[in-house]
Amino acid sequence: MIKVEDIEVSGFRNAIRGMRNPKKSWAKSDSYYDENGFYVLGKNDIDLAHRLYTGGPEHRKFMRQIFVSFDITSHHAFWAEFDTYKVGVTRDSCSKMHTIHVKSFERDDFSHEGIDEVGGQAARTFDKTLETLEWLRGRFNESHEKKYWRAMIELLPCGYNLKATVSMNYEVAANMIRQRSTHKLDEWREMCKMLSCLPYLKEIMNENQ
C-alpha cells in the first residue's frame, strides 16, 4: 500500500532563469505567469530544459532548484529502499518510538495485499501477530515496563505503514523514475507514476523529443 498526498511544487521561475545564465540567453525565455498566478513554461524553455537534461547531471543543475514536497504513507520495505536516496532528500517521519503504544493495532495499519492474496497460514500468522502486538501494547500501557515496548518494536511486521513528509528536487524525482519504474514492489511503480505527473517533468525527461 502507498498513499501520496499534499503535493506542492516550487522553484520553477528561479530554476529557469538560472538555466539560461551560462549563455546569457534570458531574452529567449518564454515562460510566464498566467492570470491565475501559475508559472507556465514556454516551448523555448521546455526545449532547452530537455536538452540540458539529456546532456547529463553536469548540465541539468537547474533540476536541483525545482522542489517538490508531499506526504507518503507506506510500509517499511518501501521506506528501506527509499532511504537509498539521501542526497537532495529530506524526510520527516511519524515516530514509532514515541507513538507505537498510543492506538490499538488494526489490520489497515499494515500493508497486507500479499497476505490477503495468499491467505491460509499467512493470514492466520498475521492475525496472531496483531493479537500479540495488542497484548504487548496493553501490558506496556498498564505497567510502563520497557520490555513490553521493546518486544512490540521487535515483533512489528515489515508491512507496518509509516507516514512521512518528504521534500526532494526534480533531479531526484527523475532518478527515481529511471531506476524504479519497473520495480518488483507495486508501491514503487505507483510512486513513479505519481512523479511522472509532476508539472513539466515528463516533458523535460521525454527521450522522444
pLDDT in tens, 39-92: 999 999 999 999 999 999 999 999 999 999 999 999 999 999 998 898 889 998
Task: Give the pLDDT band (50/70/90) at residue 102.
Answer: confident
Which CATH fold would you assign to the domain 2-93+162-205? Answer: Gyrase A; domain 2 (3.30.1360)
Q: Is 87 helix (H, G, I), strand (E, B) or coil?
A: coil
CA distance 157 to 77: 10
**Per-residue pLDDT at 95 exceeds 80:** no
Closest CA to 8 of 43, 38, 47, 46: 38
Name the segment(s) of the chain with CATH classification 3.30.1360.170: 2-93+162-205
DSSP 57: T
Per-residue pLDDT tens over the stretch 137-192: 999 999 999 999 999 999 999 999 999 999 999 999 999 999 999 999 999 999 99
